[in-house]
Amino acid sequence: GEQVEQRPPHLSVREGDSAVIICTYTDPNSYYFFWYKQEPGAGLQLLMKVFSSTEINEGQGFTVLLNKKDKQLSLNLTAAHPGDSAVYFCAVSGPLLSGSFNKLTFGAGTRLAVCP
């Protein structure tokens, strides 16, 4: 089945610096790709959903890049601030119209600390 490797497991940056988290997946037919943010004591909050290859998607203070050729998904927080401190998870759905399409495989998470 699908496997998702997420790195690094821990990341500490200074306020204003960028932070990059990378996920590598194994199934080339995976269809949807997600980034979630988990703040302490809370559930997972969706940051972005993408499915187009090699597309840069810009959110509020972050950029998501999907490279289907290399089976890699990245999250780049530009100019991080203390409010970005959280655990970030990537997730990958199964192939379209497959039995695993509505199932997500998650990375192990990255704990990000942004220091003032």
Partner 1 sequence: EAAVTQSPRNKVTVTGGNVTLSCRQTNSHNYMYWYRQDTGHGLRLIHYSYGAGNLQIGDVPDGYKATRTTQEDFFLLLELASPSQTSLYFCASSDELGNQDTQYFGPGTRLLVL
Residues that bind partner 1 (CB under 8 A): 1, 4, 6, 9, 31-32, 34, 36, 41-46, 49, 89, 91, 93, 97, 101-104, 106-109
Under DSSP, is residue 80 helix (H, G, I), strand (E, B) or coil? coil
Least distance to partner 1, CB of residue 79, Å: 26
User: Residue 75 has which token pair?
Assistant: 């999250």
Q: Identify which of residues 53 and 102 has a Cβ nearer to partner 1 in the complex.
A: 102
Task: For residue 44, give the nearest of 78, 94, 73, 86 by alpha carbon.
Answer: 86
Cα 50 to Cα 59: distance, rounded to the nearest angstrom = 12
Q: Identify which of residues 28 and 116 has a Cβ nearer to partner 1 in the complex.
A: 28
